[in-house]
Amino acid sequence: MPTTLVRDVMQVGVPTCREDTPLKEAARLLVERNVGALIVLDEDANMVGWIGEHHVARLAGENTASMVAGDVLNERVPVILPEVPAAAAAQLMLDQGLRQMFVTHHAGGVKYPAAMITLQDVCRIVAGMERAPGVGVGAERPSAIDLFKHRYGLT
């Protein structure tokens, strides 16, 4: 049986918000999209960091009315290559206390968020479950770069 790689189970397309997105809205995106993290983009759609559920949950009970995503982001985005075995990705996430890691695409000196892998994706492998529709590098869909450019009017 061949080794399952990150690219085989990664979710292409990454939820994002802007640095100036109100924290309340970023938290709402996490909940509504049922994701554990968002990539944070600057005004030119460059990746500048990420915020996870734990970044937001830490602020429960505080006055966050004037806070934006840029106030709480972590600039060190946990990145992994698509050629890494999924089991190794899981171990890295566990070792670093993460629930997800991101795959980026580099073009023109800019890093674009392209995909993500989560602990739940790895659990699907262990459970012997079929991968979800549209998951993995072989799924049919527009390219991550095309989706990103379309979303931010860069086409």
CA distance 69 to 37: 12
Helix, strand, or coil here: 153?
A: coil
Which CATH number is 6-151's, of 3.10.310.30, 3.30.160.250, 3.30.420.130, 3.10.580.10?
3.10.580.10
Domain borders along the chain are 6-151
C-alpha distances in angstroms, 8 versus 86, 102, 118, 128, 144?
8, 14, 12, 14, 15
CA distance 35 to 115: 13
- Average of pLDDT values for 49-60? 92
In this prediction the pTM is 0.78
C-alpha distances in angstroms, 66 versus 43, 50, 62, 63?
19, 19, 11, 8
pLDDT in tens, 82-139: 999 999 999 999 999 999 999 998 888 888 899 999 998 888 888 877 655 555 555 5
